[in-house]
């Protein structure tokens, strides 16, 4: 146990220090209206029967990318493209870059790029007399992702 190390609390990542960038059409935006983004990669699997075993194995056969976003209701960027889709049938895709970086932590920065994001549903108009601030949520899918920057391992990992 002499070499047993534990993580320092300073090395956790503050969620509020993240940044989001997104590209719509030919423009890249700093997503300062974003409050929260969560993206998941879900593996698709099939069961594999195996002689001599009472249970079945599982084999990965692909994946699906899904996500959710919460934004302050202060921009029409996405609504503009949603209305264009409603009128013309021309769908839109965008890339989103999510950066996690807390200068207090020794793990450094992680950057994830979600490619070919496509909104499933989104708010096109909203009022709320009880709300102090208006926000909005949208669900999306993505077709590809990159991890150009990874967190560093802490000493002792």
Residue 34 has pLDDT above 90, yes or no: yes
Residues 6+ away with beta carbon under 8 Å from 12: 102, 105
Instruction: State mean pLDDT over 24-49.
Output: 96
User: Model confidence at 155, in pLDDT bands (50, 70, 90)?
Assistant: confident
pLDDT digits (tens, 9 = 90+) for 121-138: 999 999 999 999 999 999
């Amino acid at each position: 146990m002499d070499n047993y190390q534990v993580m320092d609390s300073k090395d956790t990542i503050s969620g509020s220090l993240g940044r989001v960038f997104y590209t719509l059409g030919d423009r890249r935006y700093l997503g300062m209206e974003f409050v929260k983004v969560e993206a998941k990669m879900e593996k698709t699997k099939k069961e594999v029967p195996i002689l001599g075993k009472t249970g079945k194995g599982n084999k990965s056969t692909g994946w699906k990318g899904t996500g959710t976003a919460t934004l302050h209701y202060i921009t029409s960027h996405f609504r503009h493209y949603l209305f264009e889709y409603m009128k013309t049938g021309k769908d839109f895709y965008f890339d989103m870059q999510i950066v996690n970086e807390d200068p207090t932590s020794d793990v450094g920065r992680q950057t994830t790029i979600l490619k070919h994001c496509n909104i499933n549903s989104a708010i096109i108009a909203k009022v709320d007399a009880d709300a102090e601030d208006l926000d909005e949520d949208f669900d999306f899918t993505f077709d590809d992702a990159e991890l150009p920057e990874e967190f560093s391992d802490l000493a002792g990992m």
